Copies of this chain bind each other. A is one copy, B any other.
Amino acid sequence: MDNISSFGIIGGDKRQLYCGKSAIDDGYGVYISGFEKCGTMLGLTDSDIKNTIRNSDAFILPLPVSKDGLTLNAPLADNIIQLDELFEMIGDKPVFCGMKTKLPFGRDNVFDYSIREEFAVANAVPTSEGAVETAMLEYDGTVNNSKCLVAGYGRIGRVLSDILSGLGADVTVSARNLRDIEFIKARGFHAVFTNNLTGKYDIIFNTIPCMIFDSHTLAKVASNALVIDLASMPGGVDFNSAERLGIKAVHALSLPGKVAPKTSGIIIKNAVYNIIREEKL
């Protein structure tokens, strides 16, 4: 990390500001642009974009970097920032962004932090806490002593089930393969197969991005439950059937940025550092 001593943070939301603040705490110079609507926040003051680009050795752009493929995703900016103009100004300095595939052009100096495995694992923590926060808000009882089902034992399932257990819930986790079933049992949780869900639950968390909770399964295991779907669109819950059955179901998406922008920003920063180390930038 010898060659990079300053970052330009351009566009995005509160996460990017926390990302910048954390880089300052690590000793980097940080310039931010595209946050005019915030005024000063976390001690960071928005600066003119040309100034930011001139002074920075590398750039951290938001996740996703763009929503429309033409302009930067910069909801807190006063003005629209065109991607082609931005990248022309940046030239060949290193750029780190999320969902690089949203860019209308390929560039050698652009790195995608959002596709990294450790980035996904780290985000399982704020996602899981956001799921628990949602459960606490929506459920009339305590999570403590409630019967919880976590469908799926991937990244989020692993982190979420431990958190629920730590809260004193009675935790059941579903998995597809025998190996994960044994890991689940070793943690002291109840284990069921995903394709044969049984039992009655107070709160159900789905982490699997395919249709698990169809009307049949909802009627079987969720009739008195709050259902929280954490899987990306289209999700794994038949929301129409849930409504018809009188089951409260919530689709909770993009939790990290919403519930824990500080942690999310630090996760972005760590992923950027990891790229810099691996690519020897």
Contact = CB atoms under 8 A, between A and B. Distances in A.
A244 interface: no
* Residue from A124, A187, A274 whose CB has the most chain B CB atoms within 10 Å: A187
Interface in A112-166: 116-118, 121-122, 124-126, 129, 132-133, 136-137, 139-145, 158-159, 162-163, 165-166
Contact of A259 (B136, B159, B261, B262): B136
Interface string A154-194: 00001100110111111000000111011101111000000
Contact of A166 (B116, B139, B163, B181): B163
Contacts of A274: 178
B126 A142 contact: yes
B142 A179 contact: no
A260 interface: yes
Contacts of A158: 183
A182 B121 contact: yes
Nearest to A140: B262
A39 to B, nearest CB: 16
A144 B129 contact: yes
Interface in A213-239: none
A96 interface: no
A255 to B, nearest CB: 10
B125 A144 contact: yes
A129 B145 contact: no
Interface string A25-46: 0000000000000000000000
A142 B263 contact: yes
A167 B121 contact: no
Contacts of A266: 141
Contacts of A133: 133, 136-137
A184 to B, nearest CB: 10
A266 B14 CA distance: 41
Given A125-B168, A141-B260, 20 more contacts: A14-B140, A116-B178, A118-B178, A125-B142, A125-B186, A132-B136, A133-B133, A140-B263, A141-B263, A145-B185, A145-B188, A159-B183, A159-B186, A163-B166, A163-B168, A165-B166, A166-B166, A166-B168, A168-B186, A168-B188
30 contacts: A117-B179, A118-B182, A121-B179, A122-B186, A125-B142, A125-B145, A125-B168, A126-B142, A129-B144, A129-B167, A132-B167, A133-B136, A136-B136, A140-B262, A140-B263, A141-B260, A141-B262, A141-B263, A141-B266, A144-B263, A145-B263, A158-B183, A159-B183, A162-B166, A162-B187, A163-B167, A165-B188, A166-B168, A168-B188, A170-B188
